[in-house]
Amino acid sequence: MYCPKCGQPPVSESVRYCPSCGFRLDGVVDLLVRNGLPAAFTPAMPEPAGAGTTKRRRGMRWGAKLLLLSLVLTPIFFAFCFAAESPAPLIVPLTTFLTGLSWLIYYRSFGDETPAGAAVNYQAPLVTTARNLNLPPAPVFSANPGDPTSVTEPTTRFFNRR
């Protein structure tokens, strides 16, 4: 296999670094085996219906449903008022209406914007994505100006002498 960075063929297939430029070749082999996907890459699964909604939105929907339920119950309990010859049965739709209204106002004012099913896990490991897989190595600064600035330079010089 040729080095994807400089095009040089390695000495053997078991070499982990390119002898010319020092590019890591073991990651390239892993990418070829996985058809171009990084090792920790997991394809995105479609979310179930309602999973992307926030707690605030779900609370407001529940309040709106209670308001609509009170509108449906009002004519039914109004008929019960004639049967009982008293306005007492109207307490049920009135209570449902006030509960839905207060539920809606509460979640509108104080509802949390985090997703409803999300649990925050601060101990979760970072997942490698395709964007940060082939970043260049961080520069190494030394106190002596004569020291090499990277690990690959002495290795490259060693293989170039052979």
**119-149 per-position pLDDT tens digit:** 555 554 555 454 555 666 666 555 555 555 5
Q: Is the pLDDT of residue 159 over 60?
A: yes
Cβ contact 132:68 at 8 Å: no
Q: What is the pLDDT of residue 158?
A: 78
**83-122 per-position pLDDT tens digit:** 888 889 999 999 999 999 999 999 989 888 877 555 555 5
Q: Which residues contact 53 (CB under 8 A, 6 or more apart)?
A: 61, 115, 116
Supply the DSSP symbol for 45.
P
Q: Is the pLDDT of residue 27 over 90?
A: no
**Secondary structure (3-state) at 66:** helix
Q: What is the pLDDT of residue 99?
A: 94
Q: What is the pLDDT of residue 106?
A: 92
Instruction: Read off the tokens for 56.
Output: 């605030």
Q: Where are the domains of the chain?
A: 1-39, 55-110
